Amino acid sequence: FFWSNSCPHCQAAHPTIDALPDDYPWLNLLSYEVSTSAENALLYDQIATEVGQQAMYVPAFIFCGGMTGGWAADGSTGVAIEDGINACHTWAVENRDVLAAQIAALGKASAANSSVAVSSDTESTGTDSTGTEDGPTVDSAARLAAESESAAGVAAASASGAATDEGVVPSAQGDMALAMPVEAAAGAAPAIALPFIGELNAASLSLPALTVTIAALDAFNPCAFFVLMFLLSLMVHAQNRKRMLIIGVTFVFFSGLIYFVFMSAWLNIFLLVGELKLITLLAGLIAIGIALLNIKDYFWFKQGVSLSIPDRAKPGLYQRSRNLLKASSLPAMLFGTAVLAIAANSYELLCTSGFPMVYTRALTLNDLPTGAFYAYLAAYNLIYVIPLLLIVVLFTVRFGSHKLSEQEGRVLKLLSGLMMLALGVLLVVAPDALNQVTTALGLLVAAVIATALIVWIDRRLHRGDRQHSQPA
């Protein structure tokens, strides 16, 4: 029985599969958790190859020379597996002499303690047992495959046919199995060893896709744009490209640093509480609340509760920005920029706290080494600052001046609100969906389309209102 901690279908299968040895004393169940063990993942890949399959999904069950994957909610998979195991055992009992001769020829066991390949692939949980009056010991395909390349075929020639006739599904079913995030550890694509971080799985594409998608959307943050574009607009009057570039890059660096510290705090909170479903539910509900406030700001900008930078805070930010123009030395200018970045990002966190919270919670639901968690946070923050760096470069090269308009800020809030709403709902109802590579990309595309549609309809309605209000 091969399974993963983060796979809901695996958790659903455990009660039925774990109870099989109690119902069938001749059955030896081997259970392997593959997401945290490269050795177990490699074993899965080797055994799956022996029976002509690929180690791509969990849960996976290997017995009688064959493999089935997935777990149906109605329990039909468990019934099919149980029927297949019984059919294989019946065949083994009826062909005891044939099996004994085959295994003796391989030098694996004596005829008195013959073993047949009937098992589930998993993390070793049981001990070997000897033959009983009910028939020969039923050992695992994992054990035989580990001993010899040809061992998995001992029972496959005849027994696998019987198991298939009983209706055992030959391969994983899409909606009943979780795509394996461990192919790299299993040999398909090697793990990457990074200094101070450890091994990162090169085949785990879902988490990188989620990182890129959420970070890219989080980067288009109206609060960050507002502060940076105002700062650079002031720098235009200084007529000094070098100073503008230094101040802009310094501001972006400290913005990313503060954001990294903020996300690290979320990460440690979630690591501390572990995988409690209540925490995931609360994170989802908070994200939904923040999303609704952002969506509200598109239609009723700054009316009622709002997560925008408050007007009372803007004069202080303006004054700090103007003071940078008066800085006489480079150290004073850098220090002033850092202070401004810290102050601005303190308010900015109000605008965008939902995305870091959703992302860090999704991150902690994966089994990763500690260094990998922070590597993902660093990647997130690198992506987060890219649009800000582009703004700095464009302003420096073109010597232009542009302030973020209210309409542009409203559209950015609507887009982030819709995306955050979808992510929050997923955290509440189906957090494991965030591990799918297509989920984040699909949500982003849907949010962009929905935003464009809402803005188009809103503009059409307001245009009609203006036309009707004009005198004849």
Convert the pLDDT of each residue in 134-182 to its tens digit.
Answer: 333 334 333 433 333 333 333 333 333 333 333 333 334 444 444 444 3
The answer to which of 73-82, 85-94, 125-134, 312-321 has the lowest mean pLDDT is 125-134
Give 184-201 pLDDT, tens digit per residue. 333 333 343 333 434 434
Q: How confident is the model at residue 304 (pLDDT cuts 50, 70, 90)?
A: low
> What distance separates the 2 farthest-apart alpha carbons in the chain?
104
Neighbours of 463 (CB within 10 A): 10
What's residue 379's pLDDT? 92
Residue 349 CB partners (closer than 8 Å, separation 6+):
262
Give 218-265 pLDDT, tens digit per residue. 776 656 665 565 566 555 555 567 777 777 788 888 888 888 988 888
Q: How far is 389 from 253, CA to CA, in rounded Å? A: 9
Angstrom distances, CA of residue 181 to CA of 30, 35, 186, 391, 411: 21, 7, 10, 36, 36
Question: Is 0.75 topped by the overall pTM?
Answer: no
* Consecutive H or E run containing 67: strand 66-69
The answer to which of 165-169, 347-351, 365-369 has the lowest mean pLDDT is 165-169
Q: For residues 414 and 433, which has the higher predicted lDDT (pLDDT)?
A: 414
Domain regions of the chain by residue span: 2-186, 205-469
The answer to which of 109-118, 310-319, 405-414 has the lowest mean pLDDT is 109-118
| Per-position b or e across 72-105, b if 16+ CB within 10 A of its CB | beeeebbebbbbbbbbbbebbeebeebbbebbee
Bridge partners of residue 116, in order along the sequence: 138
What residue has token string 């899409």?
174
% of the chain at pLDDT higher than 70:
51
Q: Are 381 and 263 in contact (CB under 8 A)?
A: yes
Give 61-71 pLDDT, tens digit per residue. 888 878 887 78
What's residue 141's pLDDT? 38
Q: How far is 129 from 119, CA to CA, in rounded Å? A: 13
- Collapsing DSSP to helix, strand or coil, 461 comes out as helix
